[in-house]
């Protein structure tokens, strides 16, 4: 094979990921040698694909449906021989793997998971809870883990620890700590894996047989996803597939891999030849979540247990590093906006409802004569969405919409398009409309502070923003109303707002909503809430088509918007991606950039990502003083918010140096690679 040139930056392992797999081999009842061969087919496959751990089903070397044949000495010895065959065949593989077989320990027969590394067994886990109801009859054949009191057994020539209290740590995989359990163990109220997670296990693996019945797959998914969420862990699951006896039961071979409440990968069900699933799991994010969720640590004290730790991980990985230069994982380029249309609609409905009911509650707390809203309407997306939310809030309270005072304040940068859209929007929604031009006021302030009005600098922009806020607060005072802020989460993160200007209000209804979601919220509201009003729909669609701009600089020669936000600060979709991974996981810049490169899949090159990530980090850190005095506003998503009373607290005089240094170490382009064709 041609030598592959690779970079530490490209390698998924550099950024805290580990590649894991679920293997569902075809089953041959009571034929361990053929089962070993079936296992090796998939174990070798996922090893070539870069797996560092592979999980196989319960009693896979014997088959789950052997019945009283489990008692037979020949079957038991054949299973151990099959385990030996797998050990020999995998001794050169730097991959942990877990397989299932019956093992006799003294007078006990145990349903076991055996974990091997480089051809040697490193841990044996007996099943703790044996189902003996409905179609299950396991207590006829097997003893529970608690009955086995010996701490070690001899297996294929090695002395191996045995018990349900074992965590296998891989020193060559940072953050990898494996706990195995078997089928029913995950279905009981307090699974062994839950205690293992509290004791430090990050990868929870369940070897299962699990016959299939109607709706059982859905329940399994709920169970696996819930375990990964509750335990802040990776939860893997492998159920027996085609080949098990169908005398009374059926089998679908479902394999699942979930991480922190999200299903990442699954096998093909009902495959006659078997199947596998492989994915990169984020062990760095697991560690971050456990560190941040302090109740997890508290629970360790109350419910944790003492677990033995087995450490393995010797030898070099013989696989080409380039196998890890591509992620085997879906990374959403728009983490705040679900890609699935049904889920996106549900997200928009939820966010819109959170915003509208939160505003209604704030209004309800005021005297009746003060249940009024003043809102600056610019014809841009943020103020449009805030006005839609305001309309819904007063509707919920049974108040007339003329309780909303919509103020348009055309300035030196306002175009006819946005001015007309602001008017038409306010009128269509039934708000009271006032237009207060600020051009002459701005020119007078420039004269007073001796600033040339032809110089379109920061002062030129800030004066207009401050005048608008002065007028809005004045109107709110005059009408005993609440000034409704329109700035969004992305603008607050980047400091793309004027301190004391558009950054301030009595209540910031959009403060928890990122820019990328605002667009979809308006589109959703257009279709689902206000779709019957054709005039309003037309205005909203034109607003969505208008370039995003604060309109604080004069229009171009054609009267069109000259100041486009994304030309100055970069694409909002990139900044929202950066924000999500920085705020939600505390990810370091190199990891954010690598994930971004994968997520956008060629839409942005590495140099572009690096450039705007540096801008994000610079602006985010130096803009904290603006976030320190934010008005109230609802948090709407699990991705985080920036209120100093909520998700985010940091000193305003912090320096961004260490993050910027890390970002500048990101290469501007990937190295050229030479890779031969692979089988």
Active site residues: 58, 127, 183
Residue 457, burial from CB neighbour count under 10 angstroms (0-12, 13-18, 19+): exposed
CB 347 within 8 A of CB 338: yes
Spatial contact of 141 and 68, defined as CB atoms under 8 Å apart: yes
Q: What's the CA gap between 628 and 87, in Å, rounded?
A: 59
Q: How far is CA 356 from CA 155, 352, 395, in A?
A: 64, 6, 9
d(CA 128, CA 192): 8
List the one residue out of 240, 136, 127, 249 whose CA is nearest residue 185. Answer: 127
User: Cα–Cα distances in Å, from 316 out to 94, 95, 260, 384, 676?
Assistant: 7, 11, 30, 58, 22
Q: What are phi and psi of 55, to 5 degrees?
A: -115, 135
State the Cα–Cα distance between residues 472 and 434, nearest whole angstrom.
11
Q: How far is CA 464 from the centre of its chain?
A: 39
Distances (CA, A) of 104 to 58, 74, 142: 16, 12, 9
Q: What are 49's two structure tokens?
A: 């694909």
What the block records as the tokens of 261 is: 């409440």
Closest by Cα among 522, 108, 121, 517 to 312: 121
Query: Which of 641, 582, 643 has the alpha carbon at shortest distance from 617?
Result: 582
The enclosing H or E element of 224 equals helix 216-230
- Residues 18/51, Cβ–Cβ less than 8 Å: no
Tokens 């006896």 belong to residue? 245
For residue 360, give every residue at least 6 positions away whose Cβ sits within 8 Å of its Cβ, in sequence order, or none. Answer: 393, 394, 396, 397
Measure Cα distances from 390 to 115, 284, 357, 367, 509 in Å.
59, 41, 10, 17, 9
Judge contact between 462 and 455, C-beta under 8 A: no
């Amino acid at each position: 094979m041609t030598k592959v040139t690779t970079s530490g930056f490209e390698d998924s392992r550099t950024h805290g990921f580990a590649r894991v797999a679920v293997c569902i081999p075809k089953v041959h009842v009571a034929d361990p040698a053929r089962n070993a061969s079936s296992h090796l087919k998939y174990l070798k496959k996922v090893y070539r694909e870069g797996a560092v751990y592979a999980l196989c089903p319960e009693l896979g070397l014997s088959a789950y449906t052997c019945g009283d044949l489990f008692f037979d000495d020949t079957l038991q010895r054949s299973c151990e021989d099959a385990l030996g065959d797998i050990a020999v065949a995998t001794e050169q593989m730097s991959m942990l793997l877990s397989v299932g077989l019956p093992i006799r320990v003294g007078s006990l027969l145990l349903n076991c998971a055996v974990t091997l590394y480089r051809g040697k067994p490193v841990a044996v886990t007996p099943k703790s809870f044996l189902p003996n109801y409905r179609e299950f009859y396991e207590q006829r054949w097997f003893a529970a883990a608690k009955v086995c009191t010996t701490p070690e057994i001899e297996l294929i020539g090695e002395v191996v620890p045995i018990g349900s209290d074992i965590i296998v740590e891989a020193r060559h995989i940072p953050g990898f700590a494996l706990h195995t359990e078997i089928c029913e163990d995950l279905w009981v109220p307090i699974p062994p894996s839950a205690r293992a997670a509290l004791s430090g296990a990050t990868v929870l693996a369940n070897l299962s047989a699990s016959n299939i019945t109607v709706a059982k797959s859905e329940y399994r998914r709920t169970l696996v996803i819930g375990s990964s969420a509750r335990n802040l862990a990776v939860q893997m699951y492998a159920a027996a597939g085609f080949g098990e006896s169908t005398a009374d039961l059926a089998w679908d071979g479902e394999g699942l891999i979930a991480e922190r409440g999200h299903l990442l990968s699954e096998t093909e069900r009902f495959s006659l030849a078997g199947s596998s699933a492989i994915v990169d799991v984020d062990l760095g994010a697991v560690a971050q979540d456990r560190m941040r969720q302090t109740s997890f640590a508290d629970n360790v004290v109350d419910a944790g247990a003492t677990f033995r730790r087995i450490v393995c991980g010797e030898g070099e990985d013989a696989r080409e590093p380039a196998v890890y230069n591509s992620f085997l994982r879906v990374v959403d380029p728009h983490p705040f906006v679900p890609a699935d249309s049904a889920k996106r609609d549900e997200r928009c409905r939820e966010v819109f409802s959170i915003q509208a009911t939160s505003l209604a509650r704030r209004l309800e707390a005021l005297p009746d004569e003060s249940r009024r809203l003043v809102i600056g309407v610019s014809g841009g997306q943020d103020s449009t969405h805030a006005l839609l939310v305001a309309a819904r809030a007063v509707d919920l309270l049974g108040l007339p919409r003329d309780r909303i005072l919509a103020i348009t304040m055309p300035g030196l940068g306002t175009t006819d398009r946005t001015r007309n859209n602001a008017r038409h929007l306010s009128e269509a929604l039934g708000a009271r409309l006032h237009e207060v031009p600020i051009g002459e006021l701005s020119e007078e302030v420039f004269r007073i502070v001796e600033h040339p009005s032809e110089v379109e600098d920061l002062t030129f922009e800030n004066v207009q923003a401050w005048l608008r806020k002065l007028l809005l607060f004045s109107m709110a005072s005059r009408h005993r109303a609440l000034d409704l802020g329109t700035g969004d989460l992305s603008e607050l993160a980047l400091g793309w707002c004027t301190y004391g200007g558009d950054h301030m209000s009595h209540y910031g209804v959009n403060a928890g909503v990122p820019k990328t979601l605002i667009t979809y919220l308006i589109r959703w509201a257009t279709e689902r809430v206000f779709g019957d009003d054709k005039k309003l729909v037309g205005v909203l669609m034109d607003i969505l088509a208008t370039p995003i701009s604060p309109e604080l600089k004069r229009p171009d020669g054609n009267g069109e918007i000259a100041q486009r936000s994304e030309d100055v600060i970069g694409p909002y979709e990139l900044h929202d991606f950066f924000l999500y991974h920085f705020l939600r996981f505390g990810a370091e810049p190199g990891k954010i950039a690598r994930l971004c490169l994968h997520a956008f899949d060629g839409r942005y090159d590495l140099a572009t990502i690096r450039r705007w990530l540096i801008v994000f980090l610079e602006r985010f850190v130096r803009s904290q003083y603006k976030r320190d005095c934010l008005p109230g506003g609802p948090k709407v998503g699990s991705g985080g918010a920036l209120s100093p009373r909520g998700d985010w607290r940091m000193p305003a005089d912090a320096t961004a140096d260490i993050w910027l240094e890390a970002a500048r170490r990101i290469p501007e382009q990937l190295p050229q690679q030479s890779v031969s064709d692979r089988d």
